[in-house]
Structure 1
Amino acid sequence: MDQERKKEFTARLEKLENQLSELRIQLEDTSILYQNELEKRQFYQLIADFTFAWELWFEPDGNIKYCSPSCYDLTGYTSNEIIHASGIDALLVYEADKENFNAFLKNSLNQSQINQTLEFRILTRTKQLRWCMINVRGVYDKLGKYLGIRASVQDISRLKRAMGHISDLEKGKEFEQRNKQRLQNQLELKDRELVSFLLQLSQKNELIQKAAILIQELKTTESRKGNAVLNQLSTAFDQHTSVLVDWNMIESQVEKIHPGFLARLQKKHPSITEKDKKLCSYIRLGLSSKAIAGLMNITAKSVEIARVRLRKKLNLDSGTRLTSYLLQF
């Protein structure tokens, strides 16, 4: 029995020794591979850190394994920011060049790219547009294993400018400026149209109120026959004393012309009422107290009183004009 247990123990010991030997071999192989990889990376980093060009090392899956510090001079971003970004295309590449850049990078990583050079544009951290040229080549270890691609990016903006190839950028800027100006003109036109409409509405309401007062005065002096006609006119004016303002429409137009004005005002001054917001909107549009009175069916004096109360709600000191304050929102 002791002999059998001894044999079993010896066999188990031999098995463990074999496993230990295999682990030692694997550890040695792994150590050699790690050392080779470390030496390669240290050598590459030693060279790349001191180059003027922006050097990159992309792993086969597209992740950035290394980014040289010189990227900051070209892009305004540090190497760590670029490495941890969701992608160079999202962080830097100009929108019009993203498709070509991504296709170039994908084909380079798949080792199917014939032309190893691409010209593209980037937007720096300060939103300056620069022309760049990228050159790529494969990276392999001593055993021929594919480790990704090395990319070298150079700023060729001066060369492009010297060759007259930046006219498209200037045209793009000109188009963007024209587009902004066109939108601004449209907003100013809508502003003028809204103010004109409100002034006409105010004047119409004021005219109706004056006519109603005159009719009442005439009723006390004219003949019986004339009084019959005046009574008919008076009844008509009583039924349509003024044209009601569609506040929802006005509010919608104010939002288009001055986006977020009422929301920002309400956020800073939660205590203001709907009536206050109407008054603020009319003032923001540049309407006079007389015009506002016609729209709100009150006297100009009542508008002035309402403005004084509004100033108190907004906590304005005597040196701050209400109109100037509202223009800030």
Structure 2
Amino acid sequence: MDTALLFFIPLAALVLDLLLGDPQRIFHPVQLLGKALDWEERTVRKFMGKNLKAAGILCLVVNVVVVFHVVNFLVDIPYLGWAIFLYFAYSGLALGQLLKEGKQISHLLDQNDLERARNRVGQLVSRDTDAMDENDMRKALAETLSENFNDGFIAPAFFLLLGGPALMWTYKMVSTMDSMWGYRNERFEQLGWAGAKGDDILAYIPARLSALFLAGGAWLVKRGKKGLAESIMADAAKMKSPNAGWPMATVAWLCSASMGGRTKYDGEFVEKPHLGPEQGVWDHKTLSLLLRLLMVSGIAGFLLMHVYFFLIRYAAF
């Protein structure tokens, strides 16, 4: 593909993502990945029910190989490859959708439309939302936006800019396996082990880049703070996930609002690690700051990674 196209197509994908959010009226590749994983789960439970951990590993390897080669084949189609490249790049980014969801739910909360807000928050998080008050919903929204800043944007952008749509969607395949199978319960503990570990490995560098970009973005929106590195690292280490705590802890400290604490899942309360300042509260002001921070940090981080990887690739030839 022409060098100029390789430079400008990722930028066009970012613009489309910010303007349109997730594809709504056209096919989204994640839908196909989800249907494939549903079929695979039924199949392996039928034929490999006593070896689910091995089945999960096999599914991971097969899915990664198939997705990588299929996407590579499609973007290499003569004359149409550039358009397919753009579509896969755009549909794999989710910053625009995160900002859209965050603004819409924040508006509902500002209008005191708590019932609709609970329904919308419930579509984004796995915790129980029925009894949430306004502050609980704002905190839950802030947590999922912060975590998905990496999972839904920085990590896929990192792999897109590193190796193109094929590598991006290889990561998205592993991430989707983790989101669908990566639960620590009786049903998925064995089957989802490989996907969860694979996601932990692939998201390791992007998660830390997310924290770095958020910290840099804070200075751009004039909310930068000195001396927070130790607090962020200490809080990030509290999380069971080796990656989720990095963007979450960074956001909590930059916005001076706490995350974690007592949270209800499937009718039972779970004490999640506390992140950020003890007394910080999520309100209209702090949530608005978060949305600005995600937008500025996301755009700046994308551009920095794009220029870096493009120069490395260009210098190599």
Q: Specify if TM > 0.5.
A: no
TM-score range, shorter chain: under 0.3
Q: So what's the TM-score if we normalise by structure 1?
A: 0.21
**Whose Rg is larger?**
1
**Higher helix fraction (1 or 2):** 2
**Higher strand fraction (1 or 2):** 1
Q: So what's the TM-score if we normalise by structure 2?
A: 0.22
